[in-house]
A and B are shown apart, each in its own frame.
Chain A
Amino acid sequence: MVFTLLAGNLIQGLLLGGVYGLATMGLSLIFGVINVVNVGHGQFIMVGAFVALTMFTALGLSPLVAIPVALIIGMALGFLFFYTVIHRLIKAPELTSLLATFAMGILLEEVAKLIFGADFRGYNWGLGKITLAITTIQMSKVYAFIGSVVIALFLYLWFTKTRLGTAIRSVIEDNEGAQVCGVNVGWIYALSFAIGIGLTVMSGVLLTMFIPVGINPYMGGVYTLKAFVIAVLGGLTSPYGAFFAGLIFGLIENGSYTLFALIPGVAPFPLTVSLAFWILFFLLLVKPTGLLGK
């Protein structure tokens, strides 16, 4: 029985971890390129969730259609915030950029509240289920996982096989060296920020395919916290590291519950939540650069 439960939870955790991973890639990319910690990260996930909800409920369009729309909206927001706020903060003290991105998050929350109200909303994309001996999986979750993996792979290929991708990597590696080699660093900053936000907003759509309820303007905070843990786990400046760390985080979050539940007199859920932070704590002691960080 325990093994059945564990296996079922690990499958569910892996699927969710894929979405977590994608949701964190944007955070890592932005930090890697422009050295700005986006404290308003979760609020951009919220924007993606509302894109999916609106397209499904108002226009009757599948969340799969909402994915490219979210990317476009996200990149547009990214460019907007970069040229109005972020580009002034690249050389500024870290506290300034923390406060600015925090303010960006609050602004997004309040605009979303103004448009959609403070209600908790949801939608039901009935695609059916796969019933296995160990668990039951919603097809929308499978699509969300596949979507995350495909986007992450696409990003990997884009980073490694294109000139623009290589330019971004060169800025992550050595900002001044890239500038000496003729890379337009200012444009790379803007583009990276926009891609990072685009990825984050897109992950919001995928997240609603996994959890299509509780969509509200204030849903982002909890995902910011998770994304920070995952980003540090993955190496902070490494988007690929973030993706794999997301998978690990999902497995830990779901799998450890079954093991903690075996301990008599213990409430397993709070321990499950804290375990990821304990792992992060030990990782920072042993390998402060994260799993795939250099």
Chain B
Amino acid sequence: MSRKYFKILLSLMVVFGFFVSINAFAAADKIVIGHSACLSGKYAKAGEQAIGGIKACIDWVNNVHGGVLIAGKRVPLDYKYYDCESKKEGVTSLIERLITVDKVNVVFAPYSSGLTLSGAPVAERYGMVYMDHGGASDRIFQQGFQYAVQTIGPGTRYHVGTLDMLDHVDPAAKNVALAYEDSEFARMTMTGAEKHANKLGKKIVFKRTYPTGVTDLTPLLSDMKAKKPEIVLGGGHYEDGQLFARQMSDLDINVKALSLIASATLPAFYGALGGTIAEGILGPSHWEYGVTFSPEGAMKVGLEWIGPSQDEFVSLFKKSLGKEDMIPDYHAAEAGAQVLAYVKAVENINSLDQDKVRAALGKLKFMSFYGGWDIDDATGLQIGHSMVDMQWQNGKRVIVWPLEAARGKLVYPKPKF
């Protein structure tokens, strides 16, 4: 190699080294959370809640916690998100953009099981930790993904508490109907519900699915009415949950208990039904305002506490969205708790290396305002979080199960429409 070429090569190496060092410095300067968020489309409501929850906890980490403690230095969190329009094609391209163009340090999945599942292979391809706050389907964690980590509880457990509660108050109510959206999340939820109902000695008298985007459930609900169920477990997402409740009311289908997944728990559910129709409707929830998780409680069960108190979280949530009258629901809480889990994992290992962070998440156990957090190390499935059941009572969401977390008594049987 001539002297001239050697000089050129040396110059290139110096320039390359300079940019690498600049990049390393920039990476240490802030930690960027990338999120393919549902700002519009069918999951816009849950998406807005998730963004509020994430911003609230980032605010807490940066301004109360003082930043992420990494290698002896406090580093602030930054949040980069794009609107996936609640569409799979948007999710995959945006996650790729977040990783390759925006160079984020971690990717947060969008809302819903279907969208979470569609984005997982992209994150996997780039070896990027992929944190799931809104995809409850167990199937996401049965694909062998190495970097997917769940904060929301698995779908198969959604109605376990509901059925236990109903069996507790009325063991004689045996006839259960399952009517649900033909979606990944609802299928998984109802598989778990059916299994648990059978275990409790209940009888499944009706089991039918309806397609996503349905606009009229009259035939299905008329069919269900003929089977005379006492307990109805149904729904899929917010849109069809509204339709489900409304058309049960239209057809005068009065049952002892009605529980709807991923819709009844949303604060807007009551108003969207024009009021009284929502009275008495139940919903399984990962978190509700009023649950009593605290540092003292964490200490009692031997878990480390991290994050804001419940009231601090609610206040930061409102500030983050600029909506004083908006109350966070579980979509916000689980997304916020995911920020805390990531921060805790990074602090535990003093590194942003994807494999090390994933390994640290596998070992992590903690409690926050959201409740317990612990994943199955091998699959990434959430195993440490318990659900609650809420019921609409006089226009308010009241936690009715489990008894130790209950803020009110279950209204049973459900008031007639």
Contact = CB atoms under 8 A, between A and B. Distances in A.
Interface of A: 1, 4-5, 8-9, 12, 16, 113, 118-125, 129, 131, 135-136, 138, 141, 211-214, 216, 218, 222-223, 253-254, 257-258, 261, 267-270, 272-273
Contacts of A124: 273-277
B223 A129 contact: no
A284 to B, nearest CB: 23
B218 interface: yes
A273 B275 CA distance: 31
Interface in B196-232: 208-211, 213-216, 218-220, 222-223, 226
Contacts of A12: 218-219, 222
Contact of A222 (B40, B41, B215, B252): B215
B40 A218 contact: yes
Given A136-B250, A211-B246, A9 B215 contact: no
14 contacts: A5-B223, A119-B45, A120-B238, A120-B239, A124-B277, A135-B251, A136-B251, A141-B250, A211-B215, A211-B216, A213-B246, A213-B273, A214-B239, A257-B223
Given A212-B246, A214-B239, A269 B215 contact: no
A116 to B, nearest CB: 12
Interface string B147-162: 0000000000000000
Contacts of B209: 267, 269-270
A69 B360 CA distance: 61
Q: Which 5 pairs between the two chains have the least Cβ-Cβ distance?
A: A124-B274, A257-B219, A118-B44, A213-B242, A122-B272
A258 B219 contact: yes
Contacts of A261: 208, 223
A269 B215 CA distance: 12
Contact of B44 (A119, A122, A212): A119
A214 B44 CA distance: 13
A30 B203 CA distance: 53
A244 B253 CA distance: 31
Contacts of B42: 218
A258 B252 contact: no
Contacts of B211: 269-270, 273
Contact of A136 (B41, B219, B243, B252): B252
A129 B41 contact: no
Interface in B27-59: 39-42, 44-45, 48
B182 A267 contact: yes
Contact of B220 (A118, A214, A222, A269): A269
Contact of B272 (A16, A119, A131, A268): A119
B272 A121 contact: yes
A253 B242 contact: no
Interface residues of B, number: 39
Given A119-B45, A122-B273, A214 B223 contact: no
A269 B45 CA distance: 27
B134 to A, nearest CB: 16
A232 B171 CA distance: 54
A5 B223 CA distance: 7
Contacts of B247: 211
Contacts of A214: 215, 239, 242-243
A211 B232 CA distance: 21
B306 to A, nearest CB: 32
B278 to A, nearest CB: 10
A140 to B, nearest CB: 9
Given A214-B239, A254-B216, A269-B211, 13 more contacts: A12-B222, A122-B274, A124-B276, A131-B252, A135-B222, A136-B250, A138-B250, A212-B274, A213-B272, A222-B213, A257-B223, A267-B182, A270-B182
Interface string B390-407: 000000000000000000
A112 B39 CA distance: 15
A270 B208 CA distance: 11
Contacts of B243: 211, 213-214
A268 B179 CA distance: 12
B182 A5 contact: no
Contacts of A138: 250
A269 B218 CA distance: 11
Interface in B228-272: 238-239, 242-243, 246-247, 250-252, 268, 271-272
A39 B46 CA distance: 29
Contacts of A16: 216, 218
B214 to A, nearest CB: 7
Contacts of B44: 118-119
A218 B273 CA distance: 18
B270 to A, nearest CB: 10
A57 B73 CA distance: 53
Contacts of B271: 121
B242 A9 contact: no
Nearest to A122: B272
Interface centre among B214, B216, B272 (most CB of A within 10 A): B272
Nearest to B247: A211
A259 to B, nearest CB: 10
Nearest to A226: B215
A46 B57 CA distance: 36
A60 B79 CA distance: 42
Given A5-B222, A211-B216, A258-B223, A122 B250 contact: no
B273 A120 contact: no
B201 to A, nearest CB: 25
Contacts of A118: 39-41, 44-45, 48
Contacts of A223: 215
A269 B272 contact: no
Contacts of B182: 267, 269-270
Contact of B219 (A9, A123, A129, A211): A9
Contacts of A120: 45, 238-239, 242, 268, 272
B219 A254 contact: yes
A141 B42 CA distance: 26
